[in-house]
Amino acid sequence: MSHSLANRFSDKVAVVTGAASGIGEATAKRFIAEGASVILSDQDDKALHNLAASLPKDRAIPCIVDQSRADQAAHSIETAIHHFGRLDILVNNAGTTTMGTVLDSSIEDWHRVAAVNIDGALFSAKAALPHLIKTKGCIVNTASVSGLGADWNTTLYNISKGAIVNMTRALAVAHGPDGVRINAICPSVTHTGMTEDLLTQDDYKATLLAATPLRQIGQPEHMAAGILFLASTDAAFITGVNLPIDGGITASNGQPPFKA
């Protein structure tokens, strides 16, 4: 890490949901490395405490939260205020998915996906905003390229991430006058525990690489870099943006290559 980034978030306090693994873990680690204090929010008790044990204990506080439950969604925010007296950054990263079309999926499937992906983000934002208005802070949501365009066979996830895309815009419009910026990253398929089985399928991996102009699989560190940019002063005049971090996937119109 360059010297200029080493203390980019010194004296800042961030809440990262879904922090125990994948994009959330990479984001939390990078915030810590750049000087922030972080509330590590997740429902995976063991993984969360293992992560916290690897980080400075005075700047990394684990917080066991089930984002699908409305009565718990504000707990991470309350923990930040209790420990550090302020909040500057909320990263709404917790998420889940299910495979299939709407006909394959149950009402219970939808309630679970919507509760984590939509309700958790909205209720965390609602709890955070009064504190972010005081600090002129920001929110960075983890949306998805699946919220910008549809995938085959993940209908409920697509619907939920489409909601996050427009939630980002709506909150940005509503709270820009308060001095709060709200943006989102839109990852393509990223190599995390959630996608491990998918990416071990050689045919799927080959198809994904062929559809990605940079011919790489997205890594959690790629997404963390985008989140920290949007949370930084370098993005001081950016709000309401849904930033694809996808190796160029959304640069394509989706048609297969023409034959020469």
Which domains does the chain carry?
3-190+219-247 (3.40.50.720)
Q: Is the pLDDT of residue 197 over 90?
A: no
User: Where residue 73 falls among pLDDT bands split at 50, 70, 90?
Assistant: confident
| Res 259: pLDDT | 87
Q: What mean pLDDT, rounded, does the chain reach?
A: 95
Rounded-to-integer distance, Cα 210 and Cα 9, Å:
37
Split at pLDDT 50, 70, 90, the class of 218 is: very high
Q: What is the rounded (10 degree) CA torsion for 142, 145, 150, 151? A: -100
Residue with tokens 């934002």: 125
Cα dist. 182→1, 164, 258 in Å? 26, 11, 39
Confidence of residue 4 (pLDDT cuts 50, 70, 90): low
Active site residue 204: no
Contacts 24+ apart (CB under 8 A), 155-162: 155/100, 155/101, 155/102, 155/105, 156/97, 156/98, 156/100, 156/102, 156/105, 156/109, 156/110, 156/113, 156/114, 157/97, 157/98, 157/113, 157/117, 160/113, 160/114, 160/117, 160/118, 161/117
Q: How confident is the model at residue 189 (pLDDT cuts 50, 70, 90)?
A: very high
Q: What predicted TM-score, i.e. pTM, was given to this entire model?
A: 0.95
pLDDT confidence of 37, banded at 50, 70, 90? very high
| Catalytically annotated residue among 72, 88, 157, 235 | 157
Provide the pLDDT for residue 51.
96
User: Can you tell me the mean pLDDT for 214-243?
Assistant: 98
